[in-house]
Chain A
Amino acid sequence: MSHDSSPSPPEVPDRRPLIAFTWLWVGAPLAYGLYELVRKATQLFTG
Protein backbone atom coordinates (compact mmCIF):
# COMPACT_ATOMS: atom_id res chain seq x y z
CA MET A 1 0.00 0.00 0.00
CA SER A 2 1.52 3.31 -1.05
CA HIS A 3 0.80 6.83 0.09
CA ASP A 4 0.57 9.76 -2.33
CA SER A 5 3.47 11.91 -1.22
CA SER A 6 2.80 14.84 -3.65
CA PRO A 7 1.72 18.04 -1.83
CA SER A 8 -1.95 18.91 -2.18
CA PRO A 9 -2.62 22.12 -4.15
CA PRO A 10 -3.12 25.23 -1.98
CA GLU A 11 -6.77 25.79 -1.16
CA VAL A 12 -8.27 28.63 -3.18
CA PRO A 13 -10.62 30.80 -1.11
CA ASP A 14 -14.23 31.06 -2.24
CA ARG A 15 -14.52 34.51 -3.85
CA ARG A 16 -18.29 34.44 -4.40
CA PRO A 17 -19.23 36.44 -1.26
CA LEU A 18 -16.67 39.10 -2.19
CA ILE A 19 -17.95 39.21 -5.77
CA ALA A 20 -21.54 39.61 -4.51
CA PHE A 21 -20.53 42.37 -2.08
CA THR A 22 -18.54 44.35 -4.64
CA TRP A 23 -21.27 44.19 -7.29
CA LEU A 24 -23.80 45.29 -4.66
CA TRP A 25 -21.48 48.16 -3.68
CA VAL A 26 -21.58 49.58 -7.19
CA GLY A 27 -24.99 48.21 -8.18
CA ALA A 28 -27.02 49.84 -5.40
CA PRO A 29 -26.18 53.48 -6.21
CA LEU A 30 -26.50 52.73 -9.93
CA ALA A 31 -29.98 51.28 -9.34
CA TYR A 32 -30.90 54.46 -7.43
CA GLY A 33 -29.67 56.59 -10.35
CA LEU A 34 -31.59 54.48 -12.87
CA TYR A 35 -34.76 54.66 -10.77
CA GLU A 36 -34.55 58.46 -10.69
CA LEU A 37 -33.84 58.47 -14.42
CA VAL A 38 -36.87 56.34 -15.26
CA ARG A 39 -39.06 58.58 -13.08
CA LYS A 40 -37.89 61.63 -15.02
CA ALA A 41 -38.02 59.94 -18.43
CA THR A 42 -41.69 59.01 -18.04
CA GLN A 43 -42.42 62.75 -18.04
CA LEU A 44 -41.89 62.66 -21.81
CA PHE A 45 -45.06 60.64 -22.13
CA THR A 46 -47.04 62.14 -19.25
CA GLY A 47 -45.77 65.76 -19.06
Chain B
Amino acid sequence: MSPPVAPPGWSRWLVPPAALSVHLSIGQAYAWSVFKPPLESALGLSGTQSALPFQLGIVMLGLSAAFGGTLVERNGPRWAMTVALVCFSSGFLLSALGAAVEQYWLIVLGYGFVGGIGLGIGYISPVSTLIKWFPDRPGMATGIAIMGFGGGALIASPWSAQMLESFGTDSSGIALAFLVHGLAYAVFMLLGVLLVRVPRPKERADGTAAPLEGVQVSARDALRTPQFWLLWVVLCMNVTAGIGILEKAAPMITDFFADTSTPVSVTAAAGFVALLSAANMAGRIGWSSTSDLIGRKNIYRVYLGVGALMYALIALFGDSSKPLFVLCALVVLSFYGGGFATIPAYLKDLFGTYQVGAIHGRLLTAWSTAGVLGPLIVNWIADRQEEAGRHGSALYGTSFVIMIGLLVVGFVANELVRPVHPRHHRPTPEAPKEAADVPRQQPESA
Protein backbone atom coordinates (compact mmCIF):
# COMPACT_ATOMS: atom_id res chain seq x y z
CA MET B 1 0.00 0.00 0.00
CA SER B 2 1.59 3.29 -1.06
CA PRO B 3 1.16 6.26 1.29
CA PRO B 4 -1.63 8.65 0.20
CA VAL B 5 0.00 11.82 -1.11
CA ALA B 6 -1.80 15.12 -0.56
CA PRO B 7 -3.24 16.76 -3.68
CA PRO B 8 -2.27 20.38 -4.41
CA GLY B 9 -3.93 22.78 -1.98
CA TRP B 10 -4.44 20.16 0.75
CA SER B 11 -4.40 21.87 4.15
CA ARG B 12 -2.04 20.59 6.83
CA TRP B 13 -4.73 21.47 9.39
CA LEU B 14 -6.65 18.40 8.20
CA VAL B 15 -3.93 16.12 9.51
CA PRO B 16 -4.31 16.77 13.29
CA PRO B 17 -8.03 15.79 13.26
CA ALA B 18 -7.07 12.59 11.40
CA ALA B 19 -4.53 11.85 14.14
CA LEU B 20 -6.96 12.82 16.89
CA SER B 21 -9.69 10.52 15.58
CA VAL B 22 -7.31 7.61 16.15
CA HIS B 23 -5.75 8.77 19.43
CA LEU B 24 -9.07 9.80 21.02
CA SER B 25 -10.32 6.27 20.25
CA ILE B 26 -7.39 4.19 21.42
CA GLY B 27 -7.07 6.36 24.55
CA GLN B 28 -10.14 4.44 25.71
CA ALA B 29 -7.68 1.89 27.07
CA TYR B 30 -7.17 3.98 30.21
CA ALA B 31 -10.90 3.82 30.93
CA TRP B 32 -10.90 0.00 31.07
CA SER B 33 -11.49 0.15 34.84
CA VAL B 34 -15.16 1.03 34.12
CA PHE B 35 -15.68 -2.53 32.86
CA LYS B 36 -13.87 -4.23 35.75
CA PRO B 37 -16.61 -4.41 38.44
CA PRO B 38 -19.36 -5.54 36.00
CA LEU B 39 -17.07 -8.21 34.53
CA GLU B 40 -16.11 -9.43 37.99
CA SER B 41 -19.73 -9.88 39.05
CA ALA B 42 -21.07 -11.17 35.71
CA LEU B 43 -18.31 -13.70 34.99
CA GLY B 44 -17.16 -14.38 38.57
CA LEU B 45 -13.66 -12.99 37.99
CA SER B 46 -11.08 -11.78 40.51
CA GLY B 47 -9.66 -8.25 40.36
CA THR B 48 -6.44 -9.60 38.88
CA GLN B 49 -8.35 -11.49 36.17
CA SER B 50 -10.51 -8.52 35.22
CA ALA B 51 -7.36 -6.37 34.86
CA LEU B 52 -5.69 -8.88 32.51
CA PRO B 53 -7.29 -7.67 29.22
CA PHE B 54 -5.98 -4.13 29.95
CA GLN B 55 -2.55 -5.33 31.04
CA LEU B 56 -2.14 -7.53 27.96
CA GLY B 57 -3.35 -4.60 25.84
CA ILE B 58 -0.59 -2.37 27.23
CA VAL B 59 2.04 -5.09 26.72
CA MET B 60 0.84 -5.52 23.11
CA LEU B 61 0.91 -1.72 22.68
CA GLY B 62 4.61 -1.67 23.57
CA LEU B 63 5.45 -4.73 21.46
CA SER B 64 3.51 -3.72 18.34
CA ALA B 65 4.84 -0.14 18.50
CA ALA B 66 8.40 -1.45 18.88
CA PHE B 67 8.25 -4.16 16.22
CA GLY B 68 5.64 -2.66 13.86
CA GLY B 69 7.24 0.77 13.53
CA THR B 70 9.26 -0.07 10.42
CA LEU B 71 6.14 -1.47 8.72
CA VAL B 72 4.29 1.74 9.58
CA GLU B 73 7.09 3.81 8.01
CA ARG B 74 7.12 1.62 4.90
CA ASN B 75 3.37 1.42 4.30
CA GLY B 76 2.36 4.88 5.46
CA PRO B 77 -0.16 6.34 7.88
CA ARG B 78 -3.33 5.22 6.06
CA TRP B 79 -2.25 1.58 6.22
CA ALA B 80 -1.34 1.99 9.90
CA MET B 81 -4.63 3.68 10.76
CA THR B 82 -6.55 0.95 8.91
CA VAL B 83 -4.71 -1.74 10.88
CA ALA B 84 -5.41 0.18 14.09
CA LEU B 85 -9.10 0.53 13.23
CA VAL B 86 -9.54 -3.14 12.31
CA CYS B 87 -7.63 -4.45 15.35
CA PHE B 88 -9.09 -2.05 17.93
CA SER B 89 -12.65 -2.45 16.68
CA SER B 90 -12.54 -6.23 16.18
CA GLY B 91 -10.98 -6.50 19.65
CA PHE B 92 -14.20 -5.05 21.04
CA LEU B 93 -16.35 -7.27 18.80
CA LEU B 94 -14.50 -10.39 19.96
CA SER B 95 -14.94 -9.22 23.55
CA ALA B 96 -18.67 -8.75 22.89
CA LEU B 97 -18.84 -12.35 21.73
CA GLY B 98 -16.82 -13.42 24.78
CA ALA B 99 -19.18 -11.62 27.16
CA ALA B 100 -22.28 -12.94 25.36
CA VAL B 101 -21.17 -16.58 25.63
CA GLU B 102 -19.46 -15.93 29.00
CA GLN B 103 -16.02 -16.99 27.76
CA TYR B 104 -13.46 -14.86 29.62
CA TRP B 105 -10.54 -15.99 27.43
CA LEU B 106 -12.22 -14.43 24.37
CA ILE B 107 -12.24 -11.05 26.13
CA VAL B 108 -8.54 -11.41 26.94
CA LEU B 109 -7.78 -12.43 23.36
CA GLY B 110 -10.04 -9.78 21.85
CA TYR B 111 -9.46 -6.64 23.92
CA GLY B 112 -5.97 -7.55 25.16
CA PHE B 113 -4.22 -9.22 22.25
CA VAL B 114 -6.00 -8.07 19.08
CA GLY B 115 -7.07 -4.68 20.47
CA GLY B 116 -3.59 -4.17 21.95
CA ILE B 117 -2.02 -4.43 18.47
CA GLY B 118 -4.44 -1.69 17.41
CA LEU B 119 -3.26 0.43 20.35
CA GLY B 120 0.43 0.18 19.43
CA ILE B 121 0.07 0.69 15.68
CA GLY B 122 -2.51 3.43 16.21
CA TYR B 123 -0.30 5.27 18.72
CA ILE B 124 2.61 5.64 16.31
CA SER B 125 0.53 5.88 13.10
CA PRO B 126 0.32 9.70 12.79
CA VAL B 127 3.60 10.74 14.46
CA SER B 128 5.92 10.74 11.48
CA THR B 129 3.27 12.28 9.17
CA LEU B 130 2.52 15.12 11.61
CA ILE B 131 6.21 15.95 11.94
CA LYS B 132 6.55 16.07 8.15
CA TRP B 133 3.54 18.41 7.82
CA PHE B 134 4.66 20.69 10.66
CA PRO B 135 8.47 20.90 10.37
CA ASP B 136 8.25 24.38 11.93
CA ARG B 137 6.20 23.18 14.95
CA PRO B 138 6.77 19.44 15.45
CA GLY B 139 6.25 19.70 19.22
CA MET B 140 2.83 21.28 18.84
CA ALA B 141 1.78 18.82 16.14
CA THR B 142 2.68 15.66 18.05
CA GLY B 143 1.40 17.30 21.24
CA ILE B 144 -2.08 17.56 19.71
CA ALA B 145 -2.13 13.86 18.78
CA ILE B 146 -0.68 12.57 22.02
CA MET B 147 -3.02 14.84 23.99
CA GLY B 148 -5.76 12.87 22.23
CA PHE B 149 -4.56 9.66 23.87
CA GLY B 150 -5.10 11.31 27.26
CA GLY B 151 -8.44 12.72 26.11
CA GLY B 152 -9.67 9.31 24.99
CA ALA B 153 -10.07 8.12 28.57
CA LEU B 154 -11.91 11.32 29.53
CA ILE B 155 -14.50 10.59 26.84
CA ALA B 156 -14.74 6.84 27.31
CA SER B 157 -14.98 6.83 31.09
CA PRO B 158 -18.38 8.61 31.45
CA TRP B 159 -19.62 7.28 28.09
CA SER B 160 -18.95 3.61 28.94
CA ALA B 161 -20.37 4.07 32.44
CA GLN B 162 -23.59 5.55 31.04
CA MET B 163 -23.85 2.73 28.52
CA LEU B 164 -23.49 0.05 31.20
CA GLU B 165 -26.11 1.85 33.25
CA SER B 166 -28.52 1.72 30.28
CA PHE B 167 -27.76 -1.81 29.05
CA GLY B 168 -27.26 -3.39 32.46
CA THR B 169 -24.17 -4.91 34.05
CA ASP B 170 -24.99 -8.58 33.41
CA SER B 171 -23.13 -10.47 30.67
CA SER B 172 -25.59 -9.51 27.91
CA GLY B 173 -25.43 -5.82 28.92
CA ILE B 174 -21.63 -5.90 28.86
CA ALA B 175 -21.71 -7.70 25.48
CA LEU B 176 -23.97 -5.02 24.03
CA ALA B 177 -21.75 -2.26 25.42
CA PHE B 178 -18.65 -3.89 23.85
CA LEU B 179 -20.52 -4.21 20.55
CA VAL B 180 -21.50 -0.53 20.51
CA HIS B 181 -17.93 0.45 21.42
CA GLY B 182 -16.52 -1.64 18.55
CA LEU B 183 -18.88 -0.17 15.97
CA ALA B 184 -18.74 3.44 17.22
CA TYR B 185 -14.93 3.49 17.35
CA ALA B 186 -14.74 1.98 13.84
CA VAL B 187 -16.86 4.82 12.45
CA PHE B 188 -14.98 7.45 14.46
CA MET B 189 -11.53 6.21 13.39
CA LEU B 190 -12.62 5.95 9.76
CA LEU B 191 -12.30 9.73 9.50
CA GLY B 192 -8.58 9.41 10.18
CA VAL B 193 -8.16 6.67 7.57
CA LEU B 194 -9.96 8.70 4.89
CA LEU B 195 -8.40 12.03 5.80
CA VAL B 196 -4.72 11.33 6.37
CA ARG B 197 -2.29 12.37 3.64
CA VAL B 198 1.48 12.60 3.48
CA PRO B 199 2.95 15.85 2.14
CA ARG B 200 4.07 15.89 -1.47
CA PRO B 201 7.80 15.16 -1.64
CA LYS B 202 9.98 18.02 -2.77
CA GLU B 203 11.07 17.59 -6.37
CA ARG B 204 14.33 18.33 -8.10
CA ALA B 205 14.46 20.18 -11.40
CA ASP B 206 14.52 16.83 -13.26
CA GLY B 207 11.26 15.76 -11.60
CA THR B 208 12.76 13.12 -9.30
CA ALA B 209 12.12 13.21 -5.55
CA ALA B 210 14.61 15.35 -3.66
CA PRO B 211 16.34 13.68 -0.69
CA LEU B 212 15.31 14.61 2.84
CA GLU B 213 17.17 17.58 4.25
CA GLY B 214 19.37 17.50 7.35
CA VAL B 215 20.45 14.57 9.48
CA GLN B 216 18.63 11.32 8.68
CA VAL B 217 19.21 8.13 10.68
CA SER B 218 17.45 4.80 10.12
CA ALA B 219 15.62 3.08 12.97
CA ARG B 220 18.14 0.25 12.85
CA ASP B 221 21.09 2.62 13.17
CA ALA B 222 19.36 4.74 15.82
CA LEU B 223 19.42 1.77 18.20
CA ARG B 224 23.24 1.77 17.93
CA THR B 225 23.56 5.37 19.08
CA PRO B 226 23.98 6.49 22.72
CA GLN B 227 21.43 9.25 22.00
CA PHE B 228 18.61 6.70 21.61
CA TRP B 229 19.41 5.01 24.93
CA LEU B 230 19.90 8.33 26.73
CA LEU B 231 16.44 9.42 25.58
CA TRP B 232 15.14 5.99 26.63
CA VAL B 233 16.43 6.71 30.14
CA VAL B 234 15.01 10.26 30.06
CA LEU B 235 11.53 9.03 29.07
CA CYS B 236 11.59 6.11 31.48
CA MET B 237 12.57 8.30 34.45
CA ASN B 238 10.05 11.02 33.62
CA VAL B 239 7.19 8.53 33.20
CA THR B 240 8.14 6.63 36.37
CA ALA B 241 8.01 9.87 38.34
CA GLY B 242 4.57 10.74 36.97
CA ILE B 243 3.15 7.28 37.55
CA GLY B 244 4.51 7.48 41.08
CA ILE B 245 1.78 10.01 41.83
CA LEU B 246 -0.84 8.90 39.32
CA GLU B 247 -0.89 5.31 40.57
CA LYS B 248 -1.87 6.17 44.15
CA ALA B 249 -3.27 9.69 43.76
CA ALA B 250 -6.54 9.17 45.63
CA PRO B 251 -5.17 7.26 48.67
CA MET B 252 -2.11 9.53 48.69
CA ILE B 253 -3.99 12.82 49.15
CA THR B 254 -6.28 11.12 51.73
CA ASP B 255 -3.29 9.78 53.70
CA PHE B 256 -1.41 13.10 53.54
CA PHE B 257 -4.19 15.04 55.24
CA ALA B 258 -5.73 12.27 57.36
CA ASP B 259 -4.29 13.63 60.62
CA THR B 260 -4.96 17.31 59.88
CA SER B 261 -7.91 19.56 60.66
CA THR B 262 -8.94 19.42 56.96
CA PRO B 263 -9.08 15.72 55.96
CA VAL B 264 -9.84 14.88 52.31
CA SER B 265 -13.09 12.99 51.62
CA VAL B 266 -13.37 10.15 49.08
CA THR B 267 -15.37 12.45 46.75
CA ALA B 268 -12.77 15.20 46.97
CA ALA B 269 -10.00 12.63 46.30
CA ALA B 270 -11.85 11.59 43.10
CA GLY B 271 -11.92 15.28 42.13
CA PHE B 272 -8.14 15.43 42.70
CA VAL B 273 -7.63 12.45 40.36
CA ALA B 274 -9.74 14.19 37.69
CA LEU B 275 -7.70 17.37 38.10
CA LEU B 276 -4.50 15.36 37.61
CA SER B 277 -5.93 14.00 34.32
CA ALA B 278 -6.59 17.57 33.20
CA ALA B 279 -2.98 18.57 34.05
CA ASN B 280 -1.69 15.50 32.21
CA MET B 281 -3.63 16.48 29.09
CA ALA B 282 -2.82 20.18 29.27
CA GLY B 283 0.88 19.34 29.69
CA ARG B 284 0.85 17.29 26.50
CA ILE B 285 -0.19 20.15 24.27
CA GLY B 286 1.15 23.07 26.37
CA TRP B 287 4.68 21.94 27.20
CA SER B 288 5.19 20.19 23.87
CA SER B 289 4.27 23.40 22.02
CA THR B 290 6.60 25.35 24.33
CA SER B 291 9.43 23.04 23.29
CA ASP B 292 9.17 24.46 19.76
CA LEU B 293 10.14 27.83 21.22
CA ILE B 294 12.78 26.96 23.84
CA GLY B 295 14.20 23.71 22.40
CA ARG B 296 13.80 20.09 23.34
CA LYS B 297 16.80 19.81 25.64
CA ASN B 298 15.70 22.82 27.66
CA ILE B 299 12.13 21.60 28.09
CA TYR B 300 13.38 18.24 29.43
CA ARG B 301 15.63 20.17 31.82
CA VAL B 302 12.40 21.72 33.12
CA TYR B 303 10.47 18.41 33.25
CA LEU B 304 13.23 16.63 35.14
CA GLY B 305 14.80 19.45 37.18
CA VAL B 306 11.65 21.30 38.24
CA GLY B 307 9.90 17.92 38.59
CA ALA B 308 12.51 16.86 41.17
CA LEU B 309 12.00 20.20 42.95
CA MET B 310 8.22 19.64 43.05
CA TYR B 311 8.72 16.19 44.59
CA ALA B 312 11.08 17.71 47.17
CA LEU B 313 8.46 20.36 48.08
CA ILE B 314 5.77 17.68 48.50
CA ALA B 315 8.08 15.57 50.64
CA LEU B 316 9.14 18.50 52.86
CA PHE B 317 6.02 20.66 53.14
CA GLY B 318 3.21 18.73 51.40
CA ASP B 319 1.33 17.72 54.54
CA SER B 320 1.28 21.28 55.90
CA SER B 321 -0.47 22.88 52.92
CA LYS B 322 -3.15 21.32 50.76
CA PRO B 323 -2.85 23.94 47.96
CA LEU B 324 0.92 23.37 47.82
CA PHE B 325 0.45 19.60 47.63
CA VAL B 326 -2.17 19.88 44.87
CA LEU B 327 -0.16 22.46 42.91
CA CYS B 328 3.07 20.42 43.01
CA ALA B 329 1.25 17.21 42.00
CA LEU B 330 -0.42 19.03 39.09
CA VAL B 331 2.92 20.37 37.86
CA VAL B 332 4.50 16.89 38.06
CA LEU B 333 1.58 15.40 36.08
CA SER B 334 1.77 18.14 33.46
CA PHE B 335 5.47 17.26 33.03
CA TYR B 336 4.52 13.57 32.77
CA GLY B 337 2.17 14.35 29.86
CA GLY B 338 4.63 16.82 28.34
CA GLY B 339 7.40 14.21 28.40
CA PHE B 340 5.30 11.82 26.33
CA ALA B 341 4.27 14.44 23.81
CA THR B 342 7.68 16.07 23.31
CA ILE B 343 9.73 12.91 22.74
CA PRO B 344 8.78 12.46 19.03
CA ALA B 345 10.01 16.01 18.27
CA TYR B 346 13.24 15.35 20.23
CA LEU B 347 13.76 12.21 18.14
CA LYS B 348 13.13 14.20 14.97
CA ASP B 349 15.76 16.76 16.02
CA LEU B 350 18.33 14.04 16.57
CA PHE B 351 17.50 11.41 13.94
CA GLY B 352 15.56 13.33 11.27
CA THR B 353 12.17 12.45 9.80
CA TYR B 354 13.29 9.43 7.75
CA GLN B 355 12.09 6.75 10.20
CA VAL B 356 11.11 8.83 13.23
CA GLY B 357 7.86 6.88 13.71
CA ALA B 358 9.70 3.57 13.91
CA ILE B 359 12.31 5.01 16.29
CA HIS B 360 9.49 6.42 18.45
CA GLY B 361 7.85 2.99 18.51
CA ARG B 362 11.05 1.38 19.80
CA LEU B 363 11.47 4.10 22.43
CA LEU B 364 8.02 3.35 23.84
CA THR B 365 9.51 0.26 25.53
CA ALA B 366 10.67 2.85 28.10
CA TRP B 367 6.98 3.54 28.81
CA SER B 368 6.29 -0.17 29.35
CA THR B 369 9.25 -0.41 31.73
CA ALA B 370 8.14 2.68 33.65
CA GLY B 371 4.60 1.31 33.80
CA VAL B 372 5.96 -1.59 35.85
CA LEU B 373 8.63 0.37 37.76
CA GLY B 374 6.55 3.33 39.00
CA PRO B 375 3.66 1.46 40.65
CA LEU B 376 6.08 -1.17 41.98
CA ILE B 377 8.19 1.41 43.84
CA VAL B 378 5.28 3.36 45.33
CA ASN B 379 3.14 0.37 46.29
CA TRP B 380 5.96 -1.75 47.67
CA ILE B 381 7.34 1.06 49.82
CA ALA B 382 3.90 2.14 51.07
CA ASP B 383 3.14 -1.49 52.07
CA ARG B 384 6.48 -1.81 53.93
CA GLN B 385 5.93 1.51 55.75
CA GLU B 386 2.43 0.43 56.75
CA GLU B 387 3.80 -2.85 58.11
CA ALA B 388 6.30 -0.81 60.14
CA GLY B 389 3.36 1.01 61.77
CA ARG B 390 3.74 4.31 59.91
CA HIS B 391 0.78 6.23 58.54
CA GLY B 392 -0.18 9.46 56.77
CA SER B 393 2.47 11.20 54.67
CA ALA B 394 5.20 9.00 56.21
CA LEU B 395 4.01 6.17 53.92
CA TYR B 396 5.35 8.00 50.86
CA GLY B 397 8.50 9.83 52.04
CA THR B 398 10.95 7.15 50.86
CA SER B 399 9.16 6.82 47.50
CA PHE B 400 9.50 10.55 46.93
CA VAL B 401 13.24 10.46 47.67
CA ILE B 402 13.60 7.61 45.14
CA MET B 403 11.56 9.57 42.57
CA ILE B 404 13.83 12.60 43.06
CA GLY B 405 16.84 10.32 42.50
CA LEU B 406 15.31 8.90 39.31
CA LEU B 407 14.57 12.39 37.99
CA VAL B 408 18.17 13.41 38.66
CA VAL B 409 19.33 10.35 36.69
CA GLY B 410 17.04 11.45 33.84
CA PHE B 411 18.37 15.02 34.09
CA VAL B 412 21.97 13.79 33.76
CA ALA B 413 21.01 11.56 30.79
CA ASN B 414 19.42 14.57 29.07
CA GLU B 415 22.59 16.63 29.67
CA LEU B 416 24.65 13.91 27.98
CA VAL B 417 22.61 14.06 24.75
CA ARG B 418 24.77 15.32 21.87
CA PRO B 419 24.20 15.43 18.09
CA VAL B 420 24.35 11.99 16.46
CA HIS B 421 27.77 11.08 15.09
CA PRO B 422 27.92 11.41 11.27
CA ARG B 423 28.85 7.73 10.89
CA HIS B 424 25.22 6.89 11.74
CA HIS B 425 23.79 9.34 9.19
CA ARG B 426 22.00 7.93 6.20
CA PRO B 427 23.95 8.70 3.03
CA THR B 428 22.16 10.79 0.42
CA PRO B 429 22.81 11.05 -3.32
CA GLU B 430 24.47 14.42 -2.60
CA ALA B 431 26.60 12.92 0.11
CA PRO B 432 27.61 9.38 -0.86
CA LYS B 433 28.69 6.95 1.86
CA GLU B 434 32.41 7.57 1.46
CA ALA B 435 31.81 11.29 2.06
CA ALA B 436 29.62 10.72 5.12
CA ASP B 437 32.42 11.74 7.49
CA VAL B 438 31.67 15.37 6.82
CA PRO B 439 29.47 16.71 9.63
CA ARG B 440 26.07 17.97 8.43
CA GLN B 441 23.41 20.14 9.97
CA GLN B 442 23.40 19.81 13.74
CA PRO B 443 20.17 19.27 15.68
CA GLU B 444 19.05 22.59 17.14
CA SER B 445 18.10 21.25 20.52
CA ALA B 446 21.00 18.94 21.22
Interface residues of chain A, those whose CB is within 8 Å of chain B, are 10, 12-13, 15, 18-19, 22-23, 25-26, 29-30, 32-34, 36-38, 40-47
Say whether B271 contacts A40, CB under 8 Å.
yes
Q: How far is the CA of A43 from the CA of B113 in the complex (A)?
A: 36
By size class, the interface of chain B is 35 or more
CA distance A37 to B155 in the complex (A): 9
Cross-interface CB contact of B326 among A13, A15, A33, A44, cutoff 8 Å: A44
Partner of B9, one of A13, A23, A26, A34: A13
B24 at the interface (CB under 8 A from A): yes
Residues of B within 8 A of A36 (CB): 154, 157-158
Proximity bits, B1-39, A CB within 8 Å = 1, else 0: 000000011110110011011001000000000000000
Q: Total A-B pairs in contact (CB under 8 Å)?
A: 89
Would A29 and B267 be within 8 Å (CB), given that A12-B8, A22-B191 are in contact? no
Pair A33/B11 contact, Cβ less than 8 Å: no
Contacts A26-B148, A30-B155; A41 near B11 (Cβ below 8 A):
no
Residue of A at shortest CB range from B156? A33
Q: Which residues of B contact A33 (CB under 8 A)?
A: 151, 154-158
Pick the contact of B24 from A10, A19, A30 — CB < 8 Å?
A: A30
**16 additional A-B residue pairs with CB within 8 Å, beyond A36-B157, A40-B271, A43-B271:** A15-B10, A22-B17, A23-B13, A23-B17, A26-B21, A26-B191, A29-B155, A30-B20, A30-B151, A30-B155, A33-B157, A36-B154, A37-B154, A37-B277, A43-B274, A44-B271
Q: Is B195 an interface residue (CB 8 A)?
A: yes
Taking A12-B9, A23-B17 as contacts, is the C-beta distance between A40 and B24 under 8 angstroms? no
| B9 x A25 contact (CB < 8 A) | no
Give min CB distance, B15 to chain A, whole Å: 10
Residue B229 CB within 8 A of the other chain: no
B252 at the interface (CB under 8 A from A): no
B14 with A43: CB separation less than 8 A:
no
14 A–B contacts from the bound complex (CB under 8 Å): A12-B8, A18-B14, A22-B18, A23-B13, A29-B155, A30-B20, A30-B155, A33-B154, A34-B154, A36-B154, A37-B154, A40-B270, A41-B274, A47-B265
Measured CA separation A37–B281 after assembly (Å) = 11
User: B270 contacts which chain A residues (CB < 8 A)?
Assistant: 40, 43, 47
